[in-house]
Structure 1
């Protein structure tokens, strides 16, 4: 899967991932390969990115996530690394 994390200022992350956990408005949820298409609002909190060898965490300040055909786009109001 490919993931992009974007803010109004810049592209924070772009790359291949195996799993992403996002802070949804109704609670955090994980996105895996072949996830159903979804658009969801996000709360302030951690976006946890996993790939085959490591794990990264970005703290976002709200936003939305879109998942479509194994492409995930997180549009965040802001990101603290």
Structure 2
């Protein structure tokens, strides 16, 4: 699936991933390939990008939203930086 992390300053991440772990306002959750459509609010915390089997990347994000639609995950946040 495709993941994009967007901030007011531009695109932090764009690419194909196996999944993503997100800090939701009601608790952390994970979005995997072919997830049902959804929109959710995010709190500040760590976003984990699941790339290949044992390879991940982490980003520290500020609050925002995530949209999952047609196997594309769009994360809209106030700020993001690689950890």
TM-score of the superposed pair, with normalisation by structure 1: 0.96
Q: Is the 8 A contact 2:23 2:45 kept in 1?
A: yes
Query: What is the match of residue 47 of structure 2?
Result: 47
Q: Compute the displacement of 1:51 (Å).
A: 1.2
Aligned to 2:75: 74
TM-score by length of structure 2 reads 0.94
Q: Which residue of 2 aligns with 1:16?
A: 16
State the number of aligned residues.
81
Deviation at 1:43, TM superposition (A): 0.2
Gaps of 5+ in 1: none
The 1-side partners of 2:81 and 2:48 are apart by: 13
CA RMSD of aligned residues (A): 0.8
Q: Deviations over 1:12-47 (max 9, x none)?
A: 000000010000010000000111100000000011
> Which residue of structure 2 lines up, in the alignment, with residue 7 of structure 1?
7
| Displacement of 1:49 | 0.2
